[in-house]
Amino acid sequence: MTRLLLLFVLAAFAFACEMPSVNVKAKRDRSVGTDESEVREDDDEDDASDEDDDVVETDVSPTDTTPDPTPPPAPKDVFEGAPAFAGNRPGTESSDHHLGSSNAGKSCMSCHAPGKGAPTFVFGGTVQRSRTNTQGAAGVEVRVIDDKGAEIALATTDSSGNFWFKGAAQIPGGSRVAIRDAAGVQKMNGAIATGACNSGGCHTKELPIFLAP
């Protein structure tokens, strides 16, 4: 009888000990479920925050469609805008300053460049009557304009065909030159960047400046 009573007490004690363990497990499961839900909500908030960070705000200014001002093209005719041809001659002859010699066809700038001792020329040279006729053409106008069409200098030839323009200014790159008499105009096709018209490599005896072919 005593043994039966002891077994009954032990069984009751074991049953009482097992019940709390079940409750603890249930509570633990509920607790874990709550934590996972909160973690999922936190992850969603972090993802939303990351998406906000990826958005870059930029200030987009309206495109300026105003065209840039374009300078007017240079005139095709070097004498465009110049006074009508007058056929004047310079007030002095080149031979008056070179011991009676006109030095026609020679490079003026070998003596008349800055620092050479003679009066400084912006440009100078000789115009002959034709490619084969080396006689100087008198009363011919020589005009130089810059790349925008503004006049740099206007000179006329003396009786020897020499022309010159005094000054220390430099011929800017892209400038153009032409000559004319009462019969018409002859223009140089290329641009010039120097006033030494009869210097080597330019208008030598083999390639003179002339009015008619």
Q: Could you tell me if residue 139 is inside a domain?
A: yes
Residue linked to tokens 């503004």 = 150
46 plus 100 within the same structural domain: no
Segments of the chain assigned E as strands: 121-130, 141-145, 151-156, 162-166, 176-180, 185-187, 209-212
The answer to whether 136 touches 142, Cβ cutoff 8 Å, is no
For the residues 161-166, what does the mean pLDDT come to? 93
Sign of CA dihedral 3, 8, 13, 14: positive
108 plus 21 within the same structural domain: no
Q: Count the domains in the chain.
A: 2
In which band, very low, low, confident or very high, does the pLDDT at 39 lie, cut at 50, 70 and 90?
Answer: very low
Look at residue 160 and tell me whether its pLDDT is greater than 80.
yes
Give the HSE-up count for residue 1: Cα atoms under 13 Å, Cβ half-sphere. Answer: 0
Q: Could you tell me if residue 72 is inside a domain?
A: no
Look at residue 62 and tell me whether its pLDDT is greater than 80.
no
**How much of the chain exceeds pLDDT 90, in percent?**
33
Quote the domain boundaries for residue 107. 94-212
| Residue 136: predicted pLDDT | 93
| Residue 4: predicted pLDDT | 54
In which band, very low, low, confident or very high, does the pLDDT at 31 lie, cut at 50, 70 and 90?
Answer: very low
Q: Which of 67-71, 108-112, 132-136, 144-148 has the lowest mean pLDDT?
A: 67-71
Residue linked to tokens 């740099």 = 152
| Residue 179: predicted pLDDT | 96
101 plus 193 within the same structural domain: yes
35 plus 131 within the same structural domain: no
Q: Could you tell me if residue 185 is inside a domain?
A: yes
144 plus 196 within the same structural domain: yes
Look at residue 28 and tell me whether its pLDDT is greater than 70.
no
Q: Could you tell me if residue 123 is inside a domain?
A: yes
Q: Could you tell me if residue 187 is inside a domain?
A: yes
- Between CA 213 and CA 203 the distance in angstroms is 15
Q: Could you tell me if residue 1 is inside a domain?
A: yes
- Quick one: tokens of 39? 């973690």
- Quick one: tokens of 50? 């990351």
pLDDT in tens, 77-97: 999 999 999 989 898 898 888
For the residues 155-166, what does the mean pLDDT come to? 93
45 plus 110 within the same structural domain: no
